[in-house]
A and B are shown apart, each in its own frame.
Chain A
Amino acid sequence: MKMNQATLVKSNYSSSGEVHKLLFLLLVGVAGCAWAQSPPKAPTVSMAAVPLTTAQRAQATMVNLNFRVPPGYHINSNNPKSEFLIPTALKMDLPTDIILGKIEYPPGEETSFPFSPDEKLNVYNGDFTIAVAVHPLHSVVPGKYQMHGVLRYQACDNAACYPPKTLPVSFEVKVVKEPPAHHANPAQSPHIHN
């Protein structure tokens, strides 16, 4: 026997009292779900897209990576000044023959928090930039290369801290040939000797 949905609803909810009862139960369910949402959520640092960078072979080129910490949170700087705090650190895994040069971290902001008013922590807030030097060797075939890595950080707000997280980092570098070596012409006499 076939029964359409309308018939089913009609037979199951034959009085407005039952509809009200159902509404009440649904609202209680929603309230329960909303209560269960209450645990705090760990903040996520984001990275802005990196424009294609041209890097000449046999020399280092700096690439700026721009990150953002969500409002209301902070992460430790690269130098948090306590052995127990987890520093923000970038780890890159570059293609063969592209050497990772210096990673320049910005200085953190010396900040005291309500949970530690007497102690200043060195942190990153809002936007910050990490510069990475990439150095393609002479052997690298010119072309586009994808660089991959991870940013490890540990975030807190004014009252709680969240477990360390990693953010995948990637950007593209266009490797080009180095300019031809410039050889100075040997000195020539302005005079023509016959």
Chain B
Amino acid sequence: MKRSPLALVVVAFVVALMLYVGYHRARRSGPAFAPRLTQSTIAPDFSLESLDGKTMRLSDLRGKAVLLNFWATWCGPCKIEMPWFVELQNQYASQGLQIVGVAMDDASKEDISKFAKDMNVNYPILIGKEAVGDQYGGVPALPESFLIGRDGKIVDKIIGLRGKAEIEDSIKKALDTKAVTSQAGLPETHTVSR
């Protein structure tokens, strides 16, 4: 059999490239086992405490379209999005939208409550935990939002501040999904509880 020398060179180059990329990924800071969340992945389930002291579980929202927004009080761009979320929650609630904020903050619960009150937030704010952030890829920058369909699958991901129209388009995509009537078809989800 005759082996093409060019093919061998290309294989060597690709292997070297993979080693380089792998090395830099390993050096990168962040969660050691950050999951690769892509479209159609079931959104990792979690259970977190809300500002009013109740515990909310993401999987309890199955059947609704969910905008899961990771934010912090020290994040300027997050503050810009919040009034949009208030409007969008009002506008699309009747169609089944539920916006959920997760505060990835070192600030006290009281400070987060004050901030949310100042911003007239009309959707639940949960006190975030690093473990939940890690489930969603480490959330290296804020704001970061995941649009989750009625079937619990991730429809879209938005990192950083984008326009309200772009967020609204993603919400419509999530609302267009169909709820899964039977739990039998859903893969097992992992839960992080408090």
Contact = CB atoms under 8 A, between A and B. Distances in A.
Nearest to B162: A159
B1 A26 contact: no
A36 B74 contact: no
B91 to A, nearest CB: 22
B21 interface: yes
A23 B13 CA distance: 10
B11 interface: yes
Contact of B141 (A23, A30, A161): A161
B161 interface: yes
Interface string A45-83: 000000000000000000000000000000000000000
A40 B140 contact: yes
Contacts of B24: 37
B54 interface: no
A22 interface: yes
Interface string B1-45: 111100100110011011001101100111000001000000000
Contact of B107 (A22, A84, A160): A84
B11 A33 contact: no
Pick from A30, A40, A160, A164 the residue with the most CB of B within 10 Å: A160
A42 B29 contact: yes
Contact of A41 (B18, B77, B140): B140
Nearest to B115: A84
A14 B62 CA distance: 51
A159 B4 contact: no
Contacts of A162: 140-142
A159 B161 contact: yes
B73 interface: yes
Contact of A121 (B72, B76, B78, B143): B76
Nearest to A15: B1
A164 B74 contact: yes
Nearest to B78: A161
B16 to A, nearest CB: 10
A116 B80 contact: yes
A10 B76 CA distance: 59
B140 A159 contact: no
Contacts of A39: 30, 137-138, 140-141, 159
Contact of B74 (A19, A27, A85): A85
Nearest to A84: B73
B79 interface: yes
A163 interface: yes
A158 to B, nearest CB: 8
Given A33-B18, A116-B76, A161-B75, A42 B161 contact: no
B141 A115 contact: no
A117 B11 CA distance: 50
A163 B74 CA distance: 9
B14 A161 contact: no
Contacts of A116: 76-77, 79-80
A20 interface: yes
Contact of A160 (B4, B22, B28, B143): B143
B77 A115 contact: yes
**3 nearest CB pairs, A to B:** A159-B160, A160-B160, A160-B141
Given A84-B111, A121-B76, 19 more contacts: A15-B1, A16-B4, A19-B3, A23-B10, A23-B14, A26-B14, A26-B15, A33-B21, A34-B21, A37-B21, A39-B30, A41-B140, A42-B140, A84-B115, A116-B80, A154-B74, A160-B143, A161-B74, A162-B141
5 contacts: A40-B141, A40-B159, A160-B159, A161-B76, A163-B142
